[in-house]
Amino acid sequence: MNTPTTPLSPSPATPLKLGTRRSPLALAQAEETRARLSTAHGWDLAAIEIVSVIASGDKVLDRPLAEIGGKALWTKELDAALADGTVDFAVHSMKDVETERPATLVIAAVLPREDVRDVLVGADSVATIPAGARVGTSAPRRAAQMLHARPDLSVVGFRGNVATRLAKLESREADVTLLAAAGLNRLGQFSIGSPLASDTWLPAPAQGAIGIECLAARTDLCALLDAINDKPSHAAIMAERGLLRGLGGTCHSPIALLTTAEGDSLTLRAALFSPDGAERIEASATFAKDDAAAPVALARTLLGAAPEAIRRHFTGS
């Protein structure tokens, strides 16, 4: 007996245009998105054209992102391309997407989340980093979390793609650095560094997640993209973004978190730090996947318990 199959979507008359940043990792994420969407609908890869742009955040590498415009520097060129129709949809690393997005845009799909862990490069563990060593990072979360664990260390600014940061490490601009396991995996660089356990070294919000965004008015694209939307990953990302929204965090705000799922429930564990790592506050909550109010309530709990050294870096109430 033949098993009925869901009819595949007809191939578009003209290629759909998928916007992406031009970095090697962003292009790898775009290729994954194209492959998943083509497979889901039975299309040739040629049905989707990858259109790359140079993001402002990729142009200025000598200053921390928070000093030159924040996460919008990763998205504004792609936002403009969506608005003027240069691209039909855009792919993002969700941890680089600002919490407040234009009402005209929608995160239509989130791909299955990759490894959320950070990878330490230059030492086997945080405990074995030599005393007084320099940690290369421009991420407030990584800097604060490292200084909390190892106040004897110092932090030096480190920005750029994976290859750039590894080259800076090789040239001894720092003794160790931290990279996202998801990015290394997507670039096929599985053997670099030592992954840090996510339950003791909490990751960044939305780390490891690829999101696909399009105009909210393009209901046709939203329907097509739903075929590759991983609902558990999407739910976790929206909860984490809800927490960020409740906290009023910025690129200057050190926040680390971990989301775990069990059945229809999510457990969100979050820690806030002072930038120098001296202060730390943690709280967690378990709630239904579709409970948008719970992450905001957790944000209030965290801010209510946080000392002024932490609270001043968040604008939530």
Residues marked as catalytic: 96
Q: Is 276 strand, coil or helix? A: coil
Of the candidates 294, 233, 229, 230, the one whose C-alpha atom is nearest the C-alpha of residue 268 is 294
Which helix H or strand E contains 38, and what residues bound it? helix 24-41
Q: Which two tokens stand for residue 38?
A: 């083509």
Are β-strands 89-93 and 210-215 bridged in parallel, bridged antiparallel, or unpaired? Answer: antiparallel
Q: Tokens 């998105």 label which residue?
A: 33
Of the candidates 112, 161, 151, the one whose C-alpha atom is nearest the C-alpha of residue 261 is 112
* Cα separation, 36 vs 205, whole angstroms: 24
* Cα separation, 48 vs 20, whole angstroms: 12
Of the candidates 147, 145, 169, 146, the one whose C-alpha atom is nearest the C-alpha of residue 159 is 169
